[in-house]
Amino acid sequence: MPKENCLIVRAAGKRLDLLRGEAARIAQGANVRWWTDRAEIGTKFCFEDSKSKELFAITCDSLGITSQDG
């Protein structure tokens, strides 16, 4: 999978659980797969398409959670 479809977020506990739920909702709506992976500075959320990644970035921003390209 291309790296440009991944975002690294810094969240833990309930906030991370919330993000997992949002990632699943976004991926299901777009009919694409998603997954998480460990990163040095957080958790990497990856999607099969760039549109889902962009929607997830907007969601992170709206929740006040920092994200960066991964």
Q: What is the pLDDT of residues 10-47, one digit of tens each?
A: 999 999 999 999 999 999 999 999 999 998 889 999 99
CATH superfamily of 3-69: Ribosomal protein S10 (3.30.70.600)
Contacts of 18 (CB under 8 A, 6+ apart): 11, 63
pTM of the model: 0.88
For residue range 40-59, what is the model confidence (pLDDT) as tens digits? 889 999 999 999 999 999 99
Question: To which H or E segment does residue 21 belong?
Answer: helix 13-30
